[in-house]
A and B are shown apart, each in its own frame.
Chain A
């Protein structure tokens, strides 16, 4: 399958992240990094209108964030309109030039970079339409946008690596890691680099070894991964104890090949994605994959509204970056609620409506 381009692959990566967050939300996973709340949350003035332009609402992440934004807007009396780009950049540019988009107080760029549809965005800026992004770039601060709500890929890689280290410490075995990467994406490369660095640094009391970084395009995972399992097992044998990947998709095709190879001890941890399949595997506790890292999509929707109000107030962005979610067998099987996420929503409510 031929990739549509770099931007599209970036989007797919975001989609993968969204899937994880969505599943985490559905599984009431406990947040592991939500100890801090945004400061100076402004009072919200009712009556504003926001247009949420998503690159593709078939993406569960985009839909999750839109639902969060709609929930918050309903609470404060804002109107949110969803415009679906259906995966087409041309369509996205058309949507951005529509009157209702031009008449909105703010436009959310869902999953596409601000350098896309530059002309239309310029027009919006000239009309003082606030432009905010959700995964519109790899960083919170993206040129041309007031703020970009996203998680940090480095933090995602770190949390994934921490799960590997935790498992290794629990099972008291050496860490021999093969990382599966799609070198076409900067974020993937960043994650891979951070994971590789972490393995190299290792954890106290453990013996760590970065066996290989295998570049397998995500779109080719189904075809290549069974073979890659045999290849890597043949190459590394018992030294290979952990497989890490920038996305859960790689592990969809590793479980049975590992069983056939009689390597039930090999554990997999994914830095991102977390499809139904991944969560199902992790929750069963019988699969090779033991964890995946997701995003708090509903809270990201709340934050989008907060950031827009700040922009309308002429204030600087909050700079608040939400923590990714660690989704392992224990958290999935034993989670009884999500008090931190509910607390953050109340936090926003109290301040928006004060």
Chain B
């Protein structure tokens, strides 16, 4: 690892040295180096010469000055010394001498008297000495020489000063040189080099084609003028370029100048074609303009080949790509500046031909559409002379284009159309509407007619004049028929073709609207077939439908004129009778009509039955009655919905009163409905607020032993007190509340059994609960029962569900499945009210009943003779044979009990053994009996 690293570093060092040398060479070649060297030589040499000259002058001046100073010093000292020497003031002389020695040049001071004897001899402290010089001068007082003084001086200080001056000179010289060079260089750089460099940069930008590069030359010197001239040249060039650019940018085709596969210049059209911003194409590699590298190579190769062959230009049409990725068709035409030197550049003209291609495509598509259109198309000139027809037209009408050579288009006009059709069409097209559309009967070439939706459109030329008409025709014969069918189905019952509920509603709305001159009274008859469901269930829906059709025919046969028969749905029909001037008319005319309807419908029907063998028909003779509810009305005084509701109430009353009858609506019926609604609301409240209470009635054995009880429901109404189940159970069954009420009583039974499981004498008792048909057939019934048993932990065998025979008639399959499911868990079943319904021995054989409960009507019918009752005996025998227990309910007297005993019935329930009581009372009584 070391060697490569060292090698790498050495390589780096070499590279760095090389770079520095290159820069040095470049710098040496530059103007700065030359100027700097010239300044150095030009400034340094004069500075050196000047410094030497100055130094000599300075030395001479110093020496001269020193001599002057010494002379002056001599004179001063001679003058100063005169007075103390005259006074022979030795202290004064000494003071003067010491003062003289303060001069750094003076190294000794002597005063001699007139005899030449030293009066004072002072010496300066030893110090390095240079050249010494002794000066001597007479001391004169007045005109008399009174002594002599000598001072010895040396020039060490002077020499030191000279050396210091020389050093200062050198530094000054150096500073001057450096400062001068710096100043000159700065000035040169500021005034010459930098402007020249800016000029160079500017010229480089211009050379690179960036003519917009800003440049300002404010200086008034030659360089500034040069810069301004360059700017003027640039501006002229730019103006020329802009002119060219304006020309290029106003060309609708894209122009690209390419060199080295890079775009050097592109006009605005090219930028627009390639979806580039301004100047966005410049420097773009032309490869990026092509859809693929292969295409680019292909174009380059082919273009080079074409130019090589001497072609002036290379043209092709290909797909190119915009900057946003969109591919478009382009017509590309390229030419080179120099056929022999392709690298000098090439000019490429790009034209976006996508629109043309799309137009051509559209044209092709239009032609195809014209030919393949399902609608017939005819193109005529402004005088309606046929110019062109499509295949569909030929197919629809049988006419070829050639058929119109000698006949006008109006030959298609059928006699079924209004006579003024052609005139209206011509007027509409010529008056500037430009469009005419109408359903028109056309006469085919073979003479047949067809209904067509014709649509004429005018075509205008560039001057806005009508040049052509285009007519499209669509065969709407079948469409019209379908629409009629749909409309019919919307307002009619498809089975009977009678008006349906919607149609009735519309008609009723109209009839109930008071209209001037129209008799305002009428009646709505709601007809419901009695026991229609039985036919449906026993003979199937087909037979039911046939009955309905037959009923419809009979009704239609009896109702005519402005009156209306409609089918409401199911087995319900409505007859609307209108046009009665007064209520009396209603009273007199409607009852016989209704009665006639009733009688007509009650006549036997012969219904065709399809046998097993084909083409062999049988007839079913069926009788059917109907219940009719009549709701008379006075137009404007009742709404349609209200009237239908009134008829419905009347019809139900007819049903309730035994069917096959006519009942007129009375306001009291409305009150009953309201009362039922009120009761329903109260039942909901009772459920929510737990107003139901459980009563138990004992079930005993012939031995007197308590075997169980039937748990009965009572309603503890807050205002009405205890309410009998007969008052609310039928309604609860009707409205569905029987499901939660039944669940409640089953839950109560399970809770009671759970409680009894821990009570002595109660732990073997069973509890019977009545279950209504609707509750039994509820989807969640099984889960509810099992959940209650499980929740309270009760053995299922202790709970006995009592169902009526009517349950077995509703939905045998579901009943069987439910009973088997519950039986599988051990629950007991008792068949309630046995003997009153449509008892079928097959039911008893297949359903898992544990007990038969003899209806109380049989018990109350016992004559008290003490003899066995044949019916009871038969039931007991039946139970024994089917392995079912038999219990008699409604036992109220001992005679009845005895007779039951005689008849073999050993289980009883009735007032004789105990009335239904609250559970707590029942338990107390049971305990007493047990005790």
Contacts and interface: CB of A to CB of B under 8 A. Distances in A.
A270 interface: no
B89 A280 contact: yes
A345 interface: no
A171 B88 CA distance: 22
A259 B116 CA distance: 12
B85 A280 contact: no
B85 A277 contact: no
B719 interface: no
Contacts of B85: 256
Nearest to B113: A259
Interface string B122-144: 00000000000000000001001
A172 interface: no
A289 B113 CA distance: 16
Interface string B83-110: 0111111111000000000000000000
A284 B146 contact: no
SS class, residues of chain B in contact with chain A: mixed
A278 to B, nearest CB: 8
B119 A255 contact: no
A281 B90 contact: yes
A284 B90 contact: yes
Contacts of A184: none
B114 interface: yes
Interface residues of A, number: 17
Contacts of B119: 286
Nearest to A252: B87
A138 B93 CA distance: 36
B88 to A, nearest CB: 4
A283 interface: yes
B458 to A, nearest CB: 139
A253 interface: yes
Contacts of A132: none
Contact of A255 (B87, B91, B144): B87
Of B86, B113, B114, the most chain A CB neighbours within 10 A belong to B86
B634 to A, nearest CB: 147
Contacts of B91: 276-277, 279-280, 283
A260 B90 contact: no
Contacts of A281: 87-90
Contacts of A289: 88
A279 B91 CA distance: 9
A287 interface: yes
A267 B114 CA distance: 19
A284 B113 CA distance: 14
A286 B115 CA distance: 13
A247 B427 CA distance: 167
Given A260-B114, A260-B144, A286-B119, A255 B86 contact: yes
A281 B89 CA distance: 5
Interface in B502-535: none
B78 to A, nearest CB: 15
A281 B86 CA distance: 11
B90 A255 contact: no
Nearest to A259: B114
A209 to B, nearest CB: 26
A276 B92 contact: yes
B90 A283 contact: yes
A256 B88 CA distance: 7
Interface in A275-302: 276-277, 279-281, 283-284, 286-289
Interface string B141-163: 10010100000000000000000
Given A260-B114, A283-B90, A284-B90, A277 B144 contact: no
Contacts of A253: 86-87
B87 A277 contact: yes
B98 to A, nearest CB: 14
Interface in B451-491: none
Of B87, B119, B144, the most chain A CB neighbours within 10 A belong to B87
A253 B144 CA distance: 13
Given A259-B113, A259-B114, A286-B119, A280 B144 contact: no
B107 to A, nearest CB: 24
Contacts of A276: 89, 91-92
B144 A256 contact: yes
A256 B141 contact: yes
B94 to A, nearest CB: 8
B146 A256 contact: yes
B113 to A, nearest CB: 7
B89 A277 contact: yes
A281 to B, nearest CB: 5
Nearest to A248: B87
Contacts of B84: 277, 280
Nearest to A256: B146
A280 B90 contact: yes
A252 B85 CA distance: 10
Nearest to B94: A280
Contacts of A280: 84, 87-92
A64 to B, nearest CB: 18
A239 to B, nearest CB: 23
Contacts of A252: 86-87, 89
Interface string A243-261: 0000000001101100110
Contact of A277 (B92, B113, B146): B92
A228 B98 CA distance: 34
Nearest to A287: B88
A280 to B, nearest CB: 4
A255 B146 CA distance: 10
A44 B85 CA distance: 49
A346 B107 CA distance: 47
Contacts of B144: 256, 260
Contacts of A283: 90-91
Nearest to A283: B90
Of A260, A277, A287, A288, the most chain B CB neighbours within 10 A belong to A277
Nearest to B141: A256
B334 to A, nearest CB: 120
A279 B89 CA distance: 8
B754 to A, nearest CB: 131
Contacts of A255: 86-88
A190 B273 CA distance: 141
A190 B243 CA distance: 131
A314 B487 CA distance: 166
Of A252, A276, A280, A281, the most chain B CB neighbours within 10 A belong to A280
A115 B212 CA distance: 112
A248 to B, nearest CB: 10
A260 B115 CA distance: 10
Interface string B29-49: 000000000000000000000
Nearest to B114: A259
B84 to A, nearest CB: 7
A284 B111 CA distance: 14
A298 B165 CA distance: 55
Contacts of A284: 88, 90
Given A280-B84, A288-B88, 20 more contacts: A252-B87, A252-B89, A253-B87, A255-B87, A256-B86, A259-B114, A277-B84, A277-B92, A279-B91, A280-B87, A280-B88, A280-B89, A280-B92, A281-B87, A281-B89, A284-B88, A286-B88, A286-B90, A286-B119, A289-B88
Interface of A: 252-253, 255-256, 259-260, 276-277, 279-281, 283-284, 286-289
Closest 10 CB pairs of A and B: A255-B88, A280-B91, A284-B90, A277-B89, A277-B87, A287-B88, A252-B87, A280-B89, A280-B90, A256-B146
9 contacts: A253-B86, A256-B86, A277-B87, A277-B88, A280-B87, A281-B90, A284-B90, A286-B119, A287-B90
Interface of B: 84-92, 113-114, 119, 141, 144, 146
